[in-house]
């Protein structure tokens, strides 16, 4: 896949295959992508156990929840799914369990990648309120926010890593809009302005922060500033 194709692609499976080929996806980012996909079905997840699985998955990705807590949350989500199994809601609930298997024919077999494949597969299937093509396009937009496989943004120059800028970046990461999980555009815009004022000239970083999004945790531009991968 070329950079131009990536920019307009609406097929998340093909984009994930591109990430696999380029080796440009970390376990953390993949798990955050899975969580972001499932948050698109939040209104359907009426059982708190399903919602808690997403929240624990996000914390696990960022190192504030352990494996045991993740497994417990996934087990409770599986029980919630069984209770409503057979409909769109049941399939969505299974997605937050970060599936123990993958759709046939898909490789790249690690816990986080199984989570992504399963979430994309089940969310696209379960989101009956919109056409499947629209659901897949939404997930493709999330992929473009979290990953940029065609360039590697390192930490900003020292002049752009002042405590004030890092504080703005951390605020943008933490203070998000719930339940969608979207980052606040106002925070990201303020961060871009502060970076520009400090002398940052990385166009890909500034334009992405100022872009329409959606932006979620794992956003490649925000991660570059915070030194996360």
Confidence (pTM)? 0.85
Between 70 and 117, residue with greater pLDDT: 70
Q: What is the band of 209 on the pLDDT scale with cuts at 50, 70, 90? A: very high
Closest CA to 113 of 220, 223, 53, 25: 25
Percent of the chain whose pLDDT exceeds 70:
77
How many residues are listed for the chain in this entry?
229
The domain spans of the chain are 3-146, 158-226
Q: Residue 92: pLDDT above 60?
A: no
What is the rounded average pLDDT of the residues 3-17?
Answer: 91
Closest CA to 55 of 178, 141, 203, 167: 178
Collect contacts of 39-42 with beta carbons under 8 A, ≥24 apart.
39/179, 39/180, 39/181, 39/216, 40/123, 40/127, 40/135, 40/138, 40/139, 40/180, 41/92, 41/95, 41/123, 41/126, 41/127, 42/179, 42/180
pLDDT, tens digit, 9 for 90 and up, residues 143-179? 999 999 988 776 667 767 788 999 999 999 999 999 9
Q: What is the band of 68 on the pLDDT scale with cuts at 50, 70, 90? A: confident
- Mean of per-residue pLDDT scores for the chain: 81
């Amino acid at each position: 896949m070329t950079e131009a194709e990536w920019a307009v692609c609406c097929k998340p499976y093909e984009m994930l295959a591109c990430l696999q080929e380029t080796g440009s996806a970390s376990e953390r980012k993949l798990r955050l992508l899975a969580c972001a996909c499932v948050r698109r079905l939040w209104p359907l997840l009426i059982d708190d156990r399903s919602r808690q699985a997403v929240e624990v998955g996000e914390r696990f990705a960022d190192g504030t929840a352990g494996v045991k807590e993740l497994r417990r949350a996934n087990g409770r989500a599986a029980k919630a799914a069984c209770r409503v199994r057979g409909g769109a809601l049941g399939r969505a609930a299974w997605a937050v369990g970060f599936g123990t298997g993958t759709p046939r024919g898909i490789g790249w077999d690690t816990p986080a990648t199984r989570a992504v494949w399963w979430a994309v597969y089940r969310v696209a299937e379960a989101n009956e309120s919109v056409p499947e093509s629209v659901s897949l396009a939404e997930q493709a937009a999330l992929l473009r926010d979290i990953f940029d496989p065609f360039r590697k943004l390192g930490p900003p120059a020292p002049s752009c890593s002042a405590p004030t800028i890092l504080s703005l970046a951390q605020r943008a990461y933490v203070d998000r809009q719930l339940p969608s999980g979207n980052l606040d555009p106002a925070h990201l815009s303020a961060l871009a302005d502060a970076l520009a004022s400090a002398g940052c000239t990385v166009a890909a970083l500034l334009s992405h922060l100022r872009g329409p999004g959606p932006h979620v945790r794992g956003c490649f531009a925000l991660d570059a500033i915070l030194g996360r991968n």
